[in-house]
Amino acid sequence: MYLEINNLEISFATPKGKFVAVRNVDLQVKKGEIVSIIGHSGCGKSTIMNAVAGMLTPTKGTVTINGVPVKGPGPDRGIVFQNYSLLPWLTVYQNIFQAVDAAVKNKTREEKKEIVEKYIKMVNLSAHREKLPQQISGGMKQRVAIARAFAINPDMLLMDEPFGALDALTKGDMQLELLKLWNLDNRSKTIILVTHDIEEAIFLSDRIVVMTDGPAATIREIEELHLPRPRNKKAIISMPEYKLIRERLLSLLMDKVEVDEADFYKGVPVEA
């Protein structure tokens, strides 16, 4: 198995004592799979991602990649976060080149330039290559971040709400862009995606991991999707499987909200 998370627990030392963010998390991911993690705010999605990225050490349990325990960040894992994390003083081109230059070994400067050119073209940013991050839109920034992640050719992409800050139309474009890059790469990159967006999770994923609420959150259920690829958004929404999965996810995620609302209304005077 490519990625294995076994009995993962992550706790934080806080002024009030030990805080268990996630526990008993077990997940196996095959190479080339796209897996989304969804759940309410604070259920430990980013914590799990950070453990896979090697930025957090498990309190208990293990995270292994190809059987080797994760000990820290590495060039085999590319990270795309919501805040783009572009260097503001570098142009679009330089932001990607700098990452490729640092991560890709055994290639000449010319070959590295070719890689950068290829990915800038793939995300349609050729016309904006000399601009600084502050001179381009949010969608374009996220495109740069994704092109950069693919250009360094990691085995796995860890995406923490990558499109969370984008408007719905740009978000739709970016989801297609992501699948396009994944397809062009022979679907060989494993993608772990944290999202709050049920439709996004269904459109992109092979499996969707639904978390329980925190603290001490764990996996509640894993939904397997059998929607055909390549996926067409308009076509899949009319498929019975899409509707079934969407309803299942909604009911898993909305349960608590309904209870909260009922509590909220208790004792609230009803106006005549």
Ligand X SMILES: Nc1ncnc2c1ncn2[C@@H]1O[C@H](COP(=O)(O)OP(=O)(O)OP(=O)(O)O)[C@@H](O)[C@H]1O
Which residues lie near ligand X (CB under 6 A)?
Answer: 12, 14, 19, 21, 39, 41-47, 214-215
Cβ of residue 45: shortest distance to ligand X, in angstroms?
4
Cβ of residue 3: shortest distance to ligand X, in angstroms?
18
- The Cα–Cα gap between 79 and 69 comes to 18
Cβ of residue 164: shortest distance to ligand X, in angstroms?
9
- The Cα–Cα gap between 235 and 268 comes to 44
Q: Closer to ligand X at the Cβ: 42 or 74?
A: 42
Q: Closer to ligand X at the Cβ: 181 or 252?
A: 252
Give phi and psi for 83, each to the nearest 5: -90, 20
Strands of the sheet containing 68-69, edge to edge, are 17-29, 3-14, 60-65, 68-69
Cβ of residue 241: shortest distance to ligand X, in angstroms?
26
Q: Closer to ligand X at the Cβ: 23 or 143?
A: 23
- The Cα–Cα gap between 44 and 23 comes to 9
Q: Closer to ligand X at the Cβ: 153 or 218?
A: 218
* SS3 label, residue 147: helix
- Residue 174 has a CB neighbour count (10 Å cut-off) of 20
Kindly give the residue spans of alpha helices, DSSP state H, lying in 69-163: 92-103, 109-122, 138-151
In terms of DSSP bridges, do strands 60-65 and 3-14 run parallel, antiparallel, or are they unpaired? antiparallel
Q: Closer to ligand X at the Cβ: 43 or 99?
A: 43
Q: Closer to ligand X at the Cβ: 14 or 108?
A: 14
Cis previous bond, 73, omega within 30 = no
Cβ of residue 96: shortest distance to ligand X, in angstroms?
27
Name which of 79, 2, 76, 32 is nearest 187 in CA terms: 32
Name which of 100, 70, 97, 19 is nearest 192 in CA terms: 70
Cβ of residue 6: shortest distance to ligand X, in angstroms?
19
